[in-house]
Chains A and B, each alone.
Chain A
Amino acid sequence: MTEPLTAMLVGLGLVFFLAGTLGLIRLPDTFSRLHALTKADNLGLGFIVLGLALQADDWNVLGKLVLIWAFALIAAGTSAQLVARSALRRKSTPSERQAP
């Protein structure tokens, strides 16, 4: 019974994944790419993990799946902030920035 549901969820996750990659390629600006990448990417992974969780046959596999997704979410959030901050610092040389 759960197998069609798993197939659909994995398909949905893939759609978001490809959307994130397409955003990474097509979007003009660094920050819009970062925006697209972090959002679509994690959502795609979340749906894939959700779909696979239905097939997990025992508890610790299920636990590991949820752990991976939670970790990927946190890691992507923080590293996106870090990368954006370093990219921002590289762009705005002191002369461009307004007086504090």
Chain B
Amino acid sequence: MSGWLTAWLTFAAAIALLALAGALWRVWHGPAPADRMMAAQLVGTGGVAVVLLLAAANDWGMVDVALVLALLAAFAAVAFVKAESSGGRGDPEEESADD
């Protein structure tokens, strides 16, 4: 891995962090809870991208960190949906049938 590529990957990771900053703005501003959840999901995916870029630049062992982060981001979305629905079961279609 030549020097300039490592520098470029680290710079790319910094830019991906910029994307995360945009997502955090949406978390703060987002009118609907769904917007905030989407932004949290972008933070998860953005985090995976940043960790992957740094893994390539420095040490490949960090790929596992990105794997775990991707896993947790998925569960955050599921937790949000289950918390949203009144019964906590999380299947809005079946709930809307009886109300």
Q: Which residues of A contact B (CB under 8 A)?
A: 3, 6-7, 10-11, 13-14, 17-18, 20-22, 24-25, 30, 33-34, 37, 41-42, 44-45, 48-49, 52, 55-57, 61, 64-65, 67-68, 71-72, 75-76, 78-80, 82-90, 94
Residue from the set A37, A57, A71, A79 with the largest chain B CB neighbour count within 10 Å = A79
- CB nearest to A54 among chain B residues: B56
- Shortest beta-carbon distance from A22 to chain B in Å: 7
A14 and B12 form a contact (CB under 8 A): yes
Number of A-B contacts (CB under 8 A): 146
* Contacts A14-B12, A24-B26, A86-B84; A30 near B35 (Cβ below 8 A): yes
Interface residues of B in 18-76 (CB under 8 A from A): 18-19, 22-23, 25-26, 32-35, 37-39, 41-42, 45-46, 48-49, 52-53, 55-56, 60, 63-64, 66-67, 70-71, 73-74
How would you classify the secondary structure of chain B's contact residues: helix, strand, loop or mixed?
helix
Q: Which residues of B contact A (CB under 8 A)?
A: 1-2, 5, 8-9, 12, 15-16, 18-19, 22-23, 25-26, 32-35, 37-39, 41-42, 45-46, 48-49, 52-53, 55-56, 60, 63-64, 66-67, 70-71, 73-74, 77-78, 80-81, 84-85, 90, 92-93, 95-96, 99
